[in-house]
Amino acid sequence: MHSLRENIIEILLKSNHITKEQLDRALSLQKEKEMPLRKVLIDEGIITEEILLSLFSEQLYLPSLRLAKFRFDTEIVNLIPEQMAKLYNTIPLSKIGNTLTVAMSDPLNIFALDDLGNFTGSKIDIVVSPEDEINRAIDSQYRKEVKEMQSVLDEVTLGHVGDLEKNLELVKADAIELSGTLQDSQKAPIVQLVDIILAQALKRRASDIHIEPEIDCLRIRYRVDGSLHDILKVPKINQNAILARLKIISNLDITENRIPQDGRFKVRTEGREIDFRVSSLPTTFGQKFVLRALDKGNLSIGLDKLGFSEQPDTNFKKAVAKPFGMMLVTGPTGSGKSTTLYSVLNQLNTPEKNIITIEDPVEYQVDGITQMQVKPDIGLDFASGLRSILRQSPDVIMIGEIRDAETADIAIKAALTGQLVLSTLHTNDAISSITRLIDMGVEPFLVASSVIMLCAQRLARKICLKCRKPIEVPEDFLKQIGFSSGKTTFYAAQGCKYCNNTGFYGRVAVLETLLIDDNIREMIIRRNSLDEIKAYAIKKLGMKTLRDDAFLKVREEQTTLDEAIRITTEE
């Protein structure tokens, strides 16, 4: 195999653009100055860079590209760090599948190709471009984000962006002149301020962004790990333009301020696609916006990696393996029901299955699944939509929520006639789903025949491992709350920079699951009380309640005892 220098020499001699004497002089200078031969040839004027790149392109069958008018994608550029780009004089251009195309001035640098391939985990394709153009592209693209941020900082005072909670006055009232019109909302500072709000929310792992008009300001709050945190306050003069910008990107009617509206938009960041579901609500001081961040990456990990305890994980797998029947997941808003059900759907999502969902609203948009949005204003509610779905020969149906008797009746009958039906209810525990369905008017024998699994779910905040502190808990208190004895280390949340001084980082699912057996079916038909069914499930089937699973998370040192008690107070 030829070395790098031999390849260059061979290409040059074949080209007739350089004499043997000029080449010998260049080789001598290369040895003396310890520089790449390509650079010596260009610096000494022996050959122009344009001719040299043309030779590389012709002899190595590589395309050439001028970068002056090339439109770079920031997400693609960031696949290679700035330091590595400068070291190898290269910049990424595009990525298709597992192939990353980069521009290089020295396509024979095999060490660079190996490093780039190993770092990105991609196959590297090359186009040749002039060195100075690559340098200019590196300077402009890698510093683009910094320059944009600085532009906003010049016009919109943000203080220290990484510590927003300590600096709530973000915008100088006299820095931007706004009248709240569409044109004003598109001015760079407002556009960039909204971008910063979104970027900071994703950086902080916020599930929701609350933008709330008040009498003298626009209040911004993030919901992180289930708790809301004040982030910043924008002076009232900028309110209309910020809200208009949100309407524009969410495809809402910018002229309508009197009625609630719903919309959505997508953000691509760090290789992820985040859906934002947007809801506006008219209030006394203007329209309040809530932006819910939905990360599709959470759906593709499968049930095994959702952090379920052993019993819920086993019960879910058994229920999903059944060809028909109904699975119900209960819990309050924000308890992770949708993520759990979509993870089940993702596991079932194969070309052999026809999966249809009906939701209000459609939270995650998933390839391979047919999704329907209910529209009550035109008569498309859950019941009518479900009847239409059943004529589409579905294998799996997901219903966003069973809210009324008609929807419950159709869902039950679908589960009895060969479909696997997934849905949610709002009850305090799993077994209460039985009486909820009966109270809606469903006959007990239909409930007993159709339901295969019941589940109640909560989300517990995970304690930050970097700042947790061991504590002692009195034995009397443990006996009072039913925490069984045994060697357990209890921790209290402290707070540090890593967890934004909350003491918690991330959340873990706490579940109560029950697979319906023949005895429970008979108890439902006989209208036994919930206490009798629950006692049987715990004693005979070994069902773990929500509090049991929460205490298990405490023993596993995933959360605090206070947090376990907080999310299971109804018990």
Q: What is the pLDDT at residue 98? A: 87
Checking if the pLDDT of 169 tops 60, the result is: no
**How do residues 552-567 score in pLDDT, each as one tens digit?**
999 999 999 999 998 8
Residue 389 sits at the vertex; the CA angle it makes with 388 and 395, to the nearest 5 degrees, is 155
Q: What is the pTM of this model?
A: 0.61
Where does the pLDDT of residue 163 fall: very low under 50, low under 70, confident under 90, or very high at 90 and above?
A: very low
What is the pLDDT at residue 212?
94
With b for 16 or more beta-carbon neighbours within 10 A and e for fewer, the 425-447 pattern comes to bbbebbbbbbbbbbebebebebb
pLDDT band at 221 (very low <50, low <70, confident <90, very high): very high
Q: How does residue 182 score in pLDDT terms, banded at 50, 70 and 90?
A: very low
| Residue owning tokens 């471009």 | 129
State the pLDDT at residue 485: 63
Q: Please give the C-alpha separations between residue 359 and each of 180, 370, 386, 411, in angstroms, as whole numbers.
A: 34, 11, 10, 14
> pLDDT-derived band of residue 278, with 50, 70 and 90 as boundaries?
very high
Which residues make beta-bridge pairs with 359? 373
Phi, psi at 127, each rounded to 5°: -120, 150
State the average pLDDT for the chain: 80
Q: Can you give the pLDDT at residue 477?
A: 85
As a whole number of Å, the CA-based R_g of the chain is 31
pLDDT of 156 = 47
CA angle, 135 then 92 then 296, to 5°: 140
**For a pLDDT cut of 70, what percent of the chain falls above it?**
81
- What's the whole-number mean pLDDT along residues 454-479? 89
Q: What is the pLDDT of residue 138?
A: 85
Instruction: Considering only residues 287 and 499, tell me which one the structure prediction assigns the higher pLDDT.
Output: 287
pLDDT higher than 50, residue 522? yes
pLDDT band at 149 (very low <50, low <70, confident <90, very high): very low
pLDDT tens digit sequence for 97-147: 889 999 988 777 778 888 888 888 888 988 888 887 888 888 777 765 445
